[in-house]
Amino acid sequence: MPEPTREVREQDEPAAPGSGRTGSAPISLRLEVEDALFYAVVIVGVAFAFQGSRGVWEPDEGRYVHSALEMLRGGDWLVPRLHELVYLDKPPAIYWAVAVGIKALGANEWGIRLAHALALVGTAILVGGWLRPVLGRRGARVAAAAYGTTLLPVVAANAVTPDGLLALFTTAASVAYWRYRSTETATGRYLWATAVGFSVALGLSTKGTAALIFAGPIVLHLLWEIGPSRAVRRTELWVAALAAIGLGAAWYLIVGASVPGALEYFFDNQVAGRLWKSSYHRNAEWWKPLRVYGASVLAGSLPWSLIWVRLGWKHGAGRLRSLITADPLSRFLLLAIALPLLVLSLAKSRLELYALPVLAPIVALTVLTAWRSGLAGRWRLALVVAAVGLMALKSFAASWPADRDTRQLARELAETGVPADGCIDVLNDKVHGLSLYGFDRVSWHTTSPETYPYFEPPRMLVPELPTLADRCGGEMYFLSRLDHLQALAGTLTASGWTCAAPLSSARQATMYCRDRSSG
């Protein structure tokens, strides 16, 4: 819990001559270093603890990891692929981030999640920098550590998804905008406006048009403050817009020019399919926003959301309302929370992690309001408790057996006699991460038309059997549910294949088959 702002100002300012504090400079410096080190250890410790201890979970982590590995092995860094099929559901930043982590730490769980741990640390630093002009150095450190020990950001940082990277870039855009509006020099305004544009461009390269949802509060707040007529006369804002749109759209235009049908798919996947179509099957029912985003905001902001209970008890609703709307920063933070949540709720595609970028303004507003309210308490103790609890949660997730754990599946395949260099065909399932565990000859097919609107859906198996037989020397391991393999055995027998009885593992069944025409 925070101390009054006056005390923070005293800690941030050097001792004045004649104040009786001149002899304490070395001690103050040591305490300053120890204070900074404490908060740094909390943030970095939570971000990296057990980061590589958990296996890859399907389908999301496996999909991003496999596509990143295909980029590394094939050398095509522009067009993502999934089992050699063009895969355009996400822009390339997530694959680049995973690939760079693999280059740095190797093809393992630490490498694939390196960028996400760094994104958590980076976003925490940005939250602290956001509040430093108001709360001083110590308040900024507390805010940074509070974000770094908030449930949803920590969970997202331990999973290979684009949401943690998007939170980093959208937070950077908001912080840069706040610095822009308080800068008086022309050079400073150009620099900070350009930083806003670059941050939005990086967000567009991470999760497409979803980044614009979190840039909306910046545009709305700017127009409210200076008006549309003054905004269009500011050349630095045109520079920011060109940086955002030009750099953010570059990948889409390049891929759209080289891959037929890509531009139409981008519009369907990232605009129509997310806003008003329910074809992606992601909680499209009208009542789902309350459950999905209620969990993201209330549970995801634990443990610091509990501060609001204390604030409400101490001040009452009226006084608390005045506290959180008392200054321009608080009002902007409210806008940065409310507007994206409204748009996300109106859209037809909804998942909990979509709301992750609003956690930065939520934590910033929580710390700012608590600090200004003068609540007594011990931030260090609370941060240590939160950090230990979150590290324990990550350890539990790493050790808890999960049906989606591809590392465990790889062990089961090895135990059933599937060689690492054997050809494995994943049938009617979304298992993509086996390539991280040494199974490099994995293909992906289906026996029924795919309902999810992929750009290139998995191909039907039977027409592909001759190609698979030629590529794999007539020997295949089919991986699917037991009932699917039992139904497949008859089809393969009729097509000239001989199959052994399926071997069932804890998660999947594996069936060895040989093409009789291959000798």
C-alpha pair distances (Å), 402 with each of 112, 152, 437? 19, 20, 17
Band of pLDDT at residue 317, cut at 50, 70 and 90: confident
Of 466 and 322, more confident: 466
- Which SS3 state, helix, strand or coil, does residue 171 take? helix
Residue 274 has pLDDT above 80, yes or no: no
Residue 281 tokens, joined: 């099957």
Least confident of 55-69, 266-280, 491-505: 266-280
Q: How far apart are CA 486 and CA 431, in angstroms?
A: 19
Mean pLDDT score, 169-182: 97
User: What whole-number distance in Å separates Cα of residue 441 and Cα of residue 438?
Assistant: 9
Q: Is-above-0.85 flag for pTM?
A: yes
Confidence at residue 372, expressed as pLDDT on a 0 to 100 scale: 86
Average pLDDT, the chain: 91
177 alpha-carbon distance from chain centroid? 22
Residue 97, pLDDT score: 98
Sequence-distant (6+) residues with CB within 8 A of 23 are none
Report the sign of the C-alpha dihedral through residues 295, 279, 94, 161, in that order.
positive
Q: What is the pLDDT of residue 387?
A: 98
Q: What is the mean pLDDT of residues 113-135?
A: 97
Q: Which range has the worst mean pLDDT, 12-26, 222-236, 259-273?
A: 12-26
Q: What is the pLDDT of residue 172?
A: 98
Q: What is the mean pLDDT of residues 200-227?
A: 96
State the pLDDT at residue 280. Answer: 73
pLDDT, tens digit, 9 for 90 and up, residues 215-224: 999 999 999 9
Tell me: the pLDDT tens digits for 85-98? 999 999 999 999 99
- β partners of residue 16: none
Which pLDDT score, from 0 to 100, does residue 465 have? Answer: 94
CB 297 within 8 A of CB 356: no
Q: Which whole number is the average pLDDT over 216-245?
A: 96
Is the CB of residue 241 less than 8 Å from the CB of residue 316? no
> Can you read off the two tokens belonging to residue 495?
């097509």
When pLDDT is cut at 50, 70 and 90, the band that residue 19 belongs to is very low
> Mean pLDDT, to the nearest integer, of 208-213?
95
Q: What is the pLDDT of residue 331?
A: 95
pLDDT for the residue numbered 353: 96
Kindly report whether the peptide bond that precedes residue 303 is cis, defined as omega within 30 degrees of 0. Answer: yes
The alpha carbon of 131 is separated from its chain's Cα centroid by a whole number of angstroms, namely 23
Local confidence band at 464 (pLDDT 50, 70, 90 cut-offs):
very high
Tokens standing for residue 100: 């760079």
pLDDT value at position 302?
Answer: 97
Q: Can you give the pLDDT at residue 507?
A: 74
pLDDT of the residue at 21: 46
Residues 6+ apart with CB under 8 A from 322: none
Q: pLDDT tens digit string along 332-369? A: 999 999 999 999 999 988 999 999 999 999 999 999 99
Q: What is the pLDDT of residue 376?
A: 52
Give the C-alpha distances (Å, rounded to integers) separating 136 from 4, 140, 210, 222: 11, 6, 33, 25
Is pLDDT above 90 for 374? no
Q: Cα separation of 63 and 85, whole Å? A: 12
Summarize the confidence of residues 9-34 as an average pLDDT.
58
| The pLDDT value given to residue 197 | 98
